[in-house]
Amino acid sequence: MLTTTQALAIIAVLAIGTAITRFLPFILFPTAESAPRFVHYLGKMLPTAAISLLVIYSFRDIELTAAPHGLPEVISVAAVAGLHIWRKNTLLSIGVGTALYMLLVQFIF
């Protein structure tokens, strides 16, 4: 467990790191015209690719080789995706998927 000062230091580091990612483009390119075309191209493509990265990121700790072989995750993600494609209701998809996952990891696997 961290001391209060250490916890505050971690929070400060997280805040500074986040601020750097948000302010850097505006520091590098003070006006939109000063950004090269390649940067505009990346600006269009990267937000989509970044969400894919976050999807993979949330599965990073699954152990496929050990029981339960990621089954709770696979089942719950299938439920989220299926429900979302069917009903297009963000909160319903997330709420049901999370509840299902909690039931699976607490009572079944």
Which residues of the chain form contacts with another protein (CB under 8 A)? 1-2, 6-7, 9-26, 29, 31-32, 35, 38-61, 72-73, 76-77, 80-81, 84-85, 90-91, 93-95, 97-98, 101-102, 104-106
100 contacts 75 by C-beta, under 8 angstroms: yes
Least distance (Å) between residue 7 CB and another protein = 6
Least distance (Å) between residue 15 CB and another protein = 4
Tokens of 68: 């339960």
97 contacts 83 by C-beta, under 8 angstroms: yes
| Identity of the residue, 59 or 69, whose beta carbon is nearer to another protein in the bound complex | 59
64 contacts 70 by C-beta, under 8 angstroms: yes
73 contacts 62 by C-beta, under 8 angstroms: yes
Least distance (Å) between residue 73 CB and another protein = 7
